[in-house]
A and B are shown apart, each in its own frame.
Chain A
Amino acid sequence: MNTTSPPASTVHADIAPWRPAFAFAFIALLLFGFAYSLVGTGIGRLLFPHEATGSLIEQDGVVVGSSLVAQPFADDRYFQPRPSAATYDAMAVAGSNQARTNLDLRARIEEARMQVAAREGVAIDAVPSDLVTQSGGGIDPHVSPEAARLQVARVARARGLAVEQVEGLVAAHTQPASFGVFGAPRVNVLELNLALDALPRAAGAH
C-alpha cells in the first residue's frame, strides 16, 4: 500500500473485511429480505384483500376453491379441466416434463384424445391440444374456448338444459386475450361450473 497515505486508510484496504461482511449479511437477510417482504405483503394485503389471499371462492361460508387453482371434475354435469401432472394437488404442483419425442407422452395424449372424443361424441381430430395435455403447473384453471365449446352439448344434456343456454354461459365466461394482444383467450372452469350450479333448475331435469 501507499506509504504516504495516513495509516487508517491503509489498514482499511488491507484487512479481511469480516466485520462489514457479517453486518451486511444480517442486513441483507433481515432488512432487504424480511422487512421488505413484510412491507410488500402488508401493502398488497391492504389494497387488494381478495387477490392477496388467494382469490378464494366461498359458498355458504365454505371455501370451495380458488379461481387460480384447477380442481378435478368427474360428473358429466360439469366442464372438465385440463389433465394435471400433479393430480390437482396444489402442494405438489408440477408439469410432466416430458419431451415431445417421449413415447410415453405420445401414448398418454393418444389415450386422452380417445377418451375425450368418446365422452363428447366428437371425432378425434376435433379435440384441441389443451384438453389432452398437462399444463406447466398442473393447476391451470382455464381451458381454451374451443375446449369449452366441445363440452357444451354433453353438459347441456346431463343437466337437461338447452344447448344455447350453456353456450351463452360459456361465452359469458370467455376472457379474450388481454387488450387483444397479450396471452390467449380462455375460460375459467371452476367459475363456469359454479355458474352452472347457480342456474335455476331447468324444468324437466331429474
Chain B
Amino acid sequence: MTEAIVVLLLVIAAGWPLGHYLAAVMRGAPMHGDRVFGVIEKPVYRLLGVDPSEGMTWKAYAAAFLASNAILGVLAWVVFMTQAWLPLNPNGAPNMRWDLALHTAVSFLTNTNQQHYSGQAQLSHLAQMTGIVGLQVVTPMMGLALVVATLRGLFGGRTPPSASAQATVGDVDVGNYWADVVRPSVRVMLPLCLLWSVLLTWQGVPSTLDGGPVATPVDASAGMAAQKIPLGPVAPMVAAKQIGTNGGGWYGPNSAVPLENPTPLSNLLEMVAILLIPVAITFMVGAFTERRRFSALVFGTMLLMSLVSGSAAIWSEGHSATASDIAVMEGKETRFGAGSSALWAAVTTQTSNGSVNAMHDSLAPLTGLVTIANMLVNGIWGGIGCGLQQFIVYLLLGVFLAGLMTGRTPELFGRKIEAHEVKLLAVLVLLQPLVLLGFTAVTLAVPELTGNSNPGFHAISQVFYEFTSAFANNGSGFEGLGDATAWWNLSTTLLLVLGRYPALLIPLAIAASLARKRVTPEGIGTLQVETPTFALTLVAVIVILTLLQFMPILVLGPIADHLALSAP
C-alpha cells in the first residue's frame, strides 16, 4: 500500500508541471525550447510538405490521421514479414507469417501492443527498433492529437492564426494534425523516453546491439550445457512502451522478465512511466482550455475510480483469503512479490498500457475481475489521448442523462447536445457490448477456436479478457490462450481497429458539430458539470452503462472462478 501511495504522489508531482508543459506544446504558441526542437521539427515539416500553422477541418484532420495510420501500418507489416532478409537480426528471427504480422502491425498501430509472438525469438533487432519502437513513439501522440483537436472543437474551434487559414462558420478549425503529432513526439515523448531508457539501463535493462552471448551454466549435472542470454537494444524499447501507454514487451512475458524489469526500483520507474502522461493529461486539460475546474473534474473522477480499483486489486491479491494460497507466487517474480504485482496489474489496465510484471492468468480471480473492469471502463486515466477521449464520451452521456432527468435541454460548455450528437454517441455505446459479447460467444461456441490453457470458468475469462483487451487497446492478456492462430489474429485485429478509430474519431466529429452551435451564456438554470456532485453522477453513469451490461459474463467468468476457488 505504501508503494501505491508513493507511486501516486510521484506521478502527481511530476504530472503537474508536465501537464502544463504539454498544454503549451499543444497550444503551439512560441515557447521555450523552440530553437532546440526546431532543429528536428523544421526538416520534418519540410519532408512532410506541410505548413504546421495551417488549420484543418475535422474531416481533413481525420483524413490525415487515417492516411498516416494506413501507410505506417503497411510499412510495419512489411518489415515484420521480411525481417529475416533485412539486417540487424543477430538471433536469426524468421519472417513472420502474414496473419501474425498483420495482427502485430495493427496491434502496435492502435497503441495496443497485444502480442501473439515472443519478441526475443520472433523479432529481429531491426524490426523492434523500427516497426515496434517507431509505432510506440508516435501512436500515443496521435491519441493526444485527436483529443486535443476534440477539446478545441468543444470550445468552438481554434482561433484562426492567419487570414489565409480563416474558416467559415461551417468549417471549424480543430488544429493541424501533423503539428499536433510532431510537436509532442519531439518535445515530450522522445526526451522522456531517452531519460527513462538511461535510467532503466542503470538498473540492468540491456542496451546493446549484440544478440547476446551463450553462457556455460555452473552446474553441469543439471543438464543444461549452454544458455543463450538474449540481449539487444531493449532499454529504449521498454522506455517507449511504458511512457507511451503501449505495453508490448521486448521479451514474451514482458516486464516479468528480469532483463526487462531487473529490480524493484526499475519496477517503480516503469510504474511511474505508465501513469505519467495519462495523469499529466488531466492537468493539461485545465491549462489548455483555461478552465481549471474542468481539470479538477477529470482528475477527481479518474482518481476516485483509480483508488477504488487499485485498492481492490491490492486487497484481493495481497490481503484477502486467497492471498495465503500456496499458489500465490505462481506467475509472479520474487523481487516484486504479491503487493507490487497487484499494484502493477491495476495500473497497467487503468491506463490502457497492458505491460505486465506478473502473469495475469495466475492472479487471484478477483484481481482478474478488477483488471477486466478497468479495461471495460477504459477511462480510469486511460491510454494517452484515448483515456480523455473516452472521458469526454462519458461526460456527454452524463450531461445528456442528467439533462433528461432534470427536464432541461442537455448542454456542455454552453452548446446544446441534440439528436445528431446523441446518435453518434449511441454508436459508441452499442459497439462495445455488441463486439465483445458477440465475439466471445462465437469463440466459446466453437471450442476448436479458443485454444484455452485452463479449464472451467477461467476459460470463459480467458476468451473475454483477450477480446476486451484488444477492444480497449490495452494489450495485456490471460496469456495462456493459444492465440497465435489465424482466428485469433484476425478476429482481434478487427477488434483492435474497432476499438481505436471510432473511439477517437466520433468524439471529434461530435465536438466539431457542437463547435458550430451558438453558445448560450451560462446562467442559473445551467447544469454545472464541474462539481463533485456531477463527478459522482459520472461515476454512476460509467458503472451502470459500462460495467452492469457485462455483469452476466463477469459472473460466469472471474466471479464463478473465485467461488470455485474458495468453495470448500
Residues of A within 8 A of B (CB): 1-2, 4-6, 8-9, 12-14, 16-34, 36-41, 43-45, 47-48, 51-56, 62-69, 71-75, 78, 82, 87-103, 105-106, 109, 113, 129-130, 132-144, 177-178, 181-184, 186, 190, 193-194, 197
B319 to A: closest C-beta gap in Å: 15
A-B contact pairs, 5 of them (CB 8 A): A44-B198, A63-B214, A92-B118, A102-B458, A178-B264
Contact of B236 among A8, A37, A95, A130 (CB under 8 A): A37
Bound: A23/B71 CA distance, A: 9
Q: Which B residues are CB-close (under 8 A) to A24?
A: 48, 68, 71-72, 178, 181
Main DSSP-derived SS at the A contact region = mixed
- Among residues of B, the one whose C-beta sits closest to the C-beta of A62 is B216
Contact of B479 among A47, A95, A106 (CB under 8 A): A95
Contact of B210 among A53, A78, A134 (CB under 8 A): A53
> B365: CB under 8 A from chain A?
yes
Q: Which of B194-249 contact A (CB under 8 A)?
A: 194, 197-198, 200-210, 212-219, 221-224, 227-231, 233, 235-237, 239-240
Most buried by B among A14, A16, A51, A95: A95
Q: Which B residues are CB-close (under 8 A) to A56?
A: 213, 215, 229
Residues of B within 8 A of A (CB): 2-3, 6, 40, 44, 47-51, 54, 56-57, 60, 63-64, 67-68, 70-72, 75-76, 79, 91, 118, 120-121, 126, 128-138, 164-168, 170-171, 178, 181, 185, 189-190, 193-194, 197-198, 200-210, 212-219, 221-224, 227-231, 233, 235-237, 239-240, 251-253, 256-259, 262-265, 267-268, 322, 325-337, 339-340, 356-359, 361-362, 364-365, 453-458, 461, 478-481, 561, 564-565
Q: Which B residues are CB-close (under 8 A) to A105?
A: 327, 330, 362
**Are A90 and B227 touching (Cβ within 8 A)?**
yes
Bound: A141/B260 CA distance, A: 13
Bound: A189/B185 CA distance, A: 42
A96 to B: closest C-beta gap in Å: 7
**Are B121 and A96 touching (Cβ within 8 A)?**
no
Contact of A44 among B64, B131, B235 (CB under 8 A): B235
B384 to A: closest C-beta gap in Å: 15
**Are A18 and B67 touching (Cβ within 8 A)?**
yes
**Are B561 and A90 touching (Cβ within 8 A)?**
no
Bound: A184/B265 CA distance, A: 11
Contact of B227 among A1, A71, A178 (CB under 8 A): A71
Given A74-B223, A97-B359, are A90 and B230 also a contact pair (CB < 8 Å)? yes
A199 to B: closest C-beta gap in Å: 14
Q: Which A residues are CB-close (under 8 A) to B214?
A: 63
Q: Which B residues are CB-close (under 8 A) to A68?
A: 204, 258-259, 262
Bound: A139/B259 CA distance, A: 9
How many inter-chain contacts with C-beta < 8 Å in the A-B complex? 427
**Are A47 and B202 touching (Cβ within 8 A)?**
yes
Q: Which B residues are CB-close (under 8 A) to A21?
A: 64, 67-68, 70-71
Given A71-B217, A137-B257, are A33 and B129 also a contact pair (CB < 8 Å)? yes
**Are B118 and A93 touching (Cβ within 8 A)?**
yes
Bound: A109/B49 CA distance, A: 62
B392 to A: closest C-beta gap in Å: 24
Most buried by B among A2, A96, A182, A184: A182
A190 to B: closest C-beta gap in Å: 7
Bound: A87/B222 CA distance, A: 11
Contact of A95 among B64, B206, B359 (CB under 8 A): B359
Given A21-B64, A72-B224, A137-B333, are A99 and B454 also a contact pair (CB < 8 Å)? yes
- Among residues of B, the one whose C-beta sits closest to the C-beta of A194 is B218
Bound: A69/B138 CA distance, A: 32
Given A1-B171, A23-B47, are A41 and B233 also a contact pair (CB < 8 Å)? yes
Given A24-B178, A94-B253, A184-B264, are A47 and B258 also a contact pair (CB < 8 Å)? no
Bound: A144/B262 CA distance, A: 16
**Are B48 and A20 touching (Cβ within 8 A)?**
yes
**Are A178 and B265 touching (Cβ within 8 A)?**
yes
Contact of A43 among B197, B262, B458 (CB under 8 A): B197
Most buried by A among B251, B256, B327: B327
**Are B258 and A129 touching (Cβ within 8 A)?**
no
A63 to B: closest C-beta gap in Å: 5
Bound: A170/B50 CA distance, A: 63
**Are A32 and B330 touching (Cβ within 8 A)?**
no
**Are B60 and A14 touching (Cβ within 8 A)?**
yes
Q: Which B residues are CB-close (under 8 A) to A54?
A: 206, 208, 212-213, 229, 231, 259
Q: Which B residues are CB-close (under 8 A) to A51?
A: 201-207
Q: Which A residues are CB-close (under 8 A) to B356?
A: 136
**Are B331 and A9 touching (Cβ within 8 A)?**
no
**Are A100 and B137 touching (Cβ within 8 A)?**
no
**Are B64 and A17 touching (Cβ within 8 A)?**
yes
**Are A97 and B453 touching (Cβ within 8 A)?**
yes
B483 to A: closest C-beta gap in Å: 11
Contact of B258 among A12, A37, A69, A197 (CB under 8 A): A69
**Are B330 and A100 touching (Cβ within 8 A)?**
yes
* 16 further contact pairs, Cβ within 8 A, besides A5-B164, A63-B216, A91-B120: A2-B170, A5-B166, A5-B167, A23-B49, A27-B44, A33-B129, A39-B236, A41-B236, A44-B207, A54-B229, A90-B229, A96-B480, A98-B454, A130-B334, A133-B331, A136-B257
**Are A73 and B253 touching (Cβ within 8 A)?**
no
Most buried by A among B63, B233, B564: B233
Q: Which A residues are CB-close (under 8 A) to B334?
A: 82, 130, 135, 140, 142-144, 184, 186
Given A23-B48, A135-B331, are A37 and B227 also a contact pair (CB < 8 Å)? no
A153 to B: closest C-beta gap in Å: 19
B235 to A: closest C-beta gap in Å: 5
**Are A29 and B75 touching (Cβ within 8 A)?**
yes
Contact of A100 among B91, B130, B362 (CB under 8 A): B362
A100 to B: closest C-beta gap in Å: 5
Given A16-B63, A33-B133, A94-B253, are A181 and B3 also a contact pair (CB < 8 Å)? yes
A59 to B: closest C-beta gap in Å: 8
Given A38-B233, A56-B215, are A69 and B227 also a contact pair (CB < 8 Å)? yes
In the A-B complex, list the 5 residue pairs whose CB atoms are closest, starting with the nearest. Answer: A183-B264, A33-B134, A97-B480, A136-B256, A44-B207
- Among residues of B, the one whose C-beta sits closest to the C-beta of A13 is B60
A65 to B: closest C-beta gap in Å: 5
**Are B207 and A45 touching (Cβ within 8 A)?**
yes
B458 to A: closest C-beta gap in Å: 4
